[in-house]
Structure 1
């Protein structure tokens, strides 16, 4: 599917209730972690870190941190034992992050809001964006990449889908049922999450809408490369984009950029 529609997602709206946004992010984190969605990109990320000589990942738009702990553990097992991750977001989620930190050595959190298009220079590391790049319209997406180029730090953008029509069908059929089944098992426990899932089902309804819109807003690999070239007109980075497939079927779309001349 090459169609891209710039629709809105409720979680992006400044007035959207924090408790509903947090419930949606908790569900997304649980599913991404349980399904090990980003396992296929670990070799790509490992190679990029080795090329740049970096061990610190700076995660932008981290949300509730879905998949982060698993990626960090796999990087450490794959030959980067001192790998670390620092979580950042425009809307930090300290409750979810504290739980991740307690269970994951090497994971840190920046509790101040961080704009992914203008990251403070004090926040160093190879930048990664999981399941969030589609939130940025073209001008902002280009600015996010351009900021990494300007600060000469590598960047990896990863979306946990291949942008197929079947994914839209799953988003309105199978995944809502899964959400109703797993919500009581999501931690940290939250009465508000249960209330807005089963009594007034705002979390599932908004999740269905935002999930479908996320797929429609995703940039396919050729568009990711176009954004990268506009963000890096001087060719200061080497860019690669494509899709990798999980062994049980789902795909991950990615863009990786590293400064020209880095080791490896």
Structure 2
């Protein structure tokens, strides 16, 4: 599917209730973690970290941290990355979810409790930047600015979307995934009474999840568009860029864009 529609997602709207947004993010985190959605990109991210000599990841638009734990633990299995640290950031921080991840993975995962604009990351947050399941939220102009900020600060960046942009994925968002959400919600941690209320009594979380999940796929940038954004963000060709799709062993795809400075060095 090459079509990209710049529709809106409710979770992007400033007035959207935080309790509903948090419930949606918690569900997304649970599903991404349970399915190991981002395991196929671990070798790609490892190679990028080796090339840039980084031992720090700064996750932009982290939401509730879906995928972070699995990817972090997998990367730390490699001898040259056993000291890897990850800092979670977001324009709408989710400290309740992040504290759970940080406690479970000290000192590998920490977080920035104040809002962080992915288009202008503070210099106090150095490291290789990643963005999981969130790049589609940015319009072309904003996406280009996000990449340009990484180039300007000479920070490598990896963009990863846990889908391949297929019509089948939209069908799943309307059929299988809502049923799964109803079944797994009681098991999502940290426990939240409001999550139960707005899933079962007043089912706003499932309804908004269906809409936002559908729009997410329609807003996704396929690899060719990711590379076009990167080239516009990096007119002086300071970075080496690659984009494509990798397939999970059980079928689903992950779309990715990775950019790193041409100057390379390998970790000792």
Normalising by structure 1, what TM-score?
Answer: 0.99
Q: Residue 143 of structure 1 is aligned with which of 138, 142, 145?
A: 145
Deviation string for 1:195-252 (max 9, x for gaps)? 0000000000000000000000000000000000000000000000000000000000
Paired residue for 2:73?
Answer: 73
Shift of 1:149: 0.0
Q: Within 1, Cα distance between the matches of 2:165 and 2:11?
A: 20
Corresponding residue of 1:251: 253
Shift of 1:261: 1.6
Query: Once the 2 structures are TM-superposed, how far is the Cα of residue 262 of structure 1 from its aligned partner?
Result: 1.6
Runs of 4+ in structure 1 off by over 6 angstroms are none
Q: Secondary structure at the match of 2:76?
A: helix
Name the structure 2 match of 1:161: 163
Corresponding position: 1:84 with 2:85: yes
Match of residue 34 from structure 2: 34
Distance 2:250 2:123 in 1: 39
Q: Take 1:82 and 1:98, find their aligned partners in 2: how far apart are those partners?
A: 20
The answer for the alignment partner of 2:200 in structure 1 is 198
User: Does 2:69 correspond to 1:51?
Assistant: no
Secondary structure of the 1:158 match is: strand
Task: Give, in whole Å, the separation in 1 of the partners of 2:55 and 2:38.
Answer: 18
Within the candidate set 107, 116, 121, 1:119 is matched to 121
- When the two chains are superposed, the root-mean-square deviation of aligned CA atoms in Å is 0.6
CA deviations over 1:76-126 (Å, ceiling 9, x no partner): 113310111000000001100000001113101000100000000110110
Cα deviation code 1:45-104 (max 9, x no counterpart): 000000000010000000000010110000011331011100000000110000000111
Mark the runs of 5 or more structure 2 residues left unpaired by the alignment: none
SS at match of 2:28: helix
How far residue 127 of structure 1 moved from its aligned partner, in angstroms, is: 0.1
How far did residue 254 of structure 1 move?
0.1
Residue 148 (structure 1) shift: 0.1
1:156-195 equivalence runs, <5 A: 156-195=158-197
How many matched pairs? 264
1:240 counterpart residue number: 242
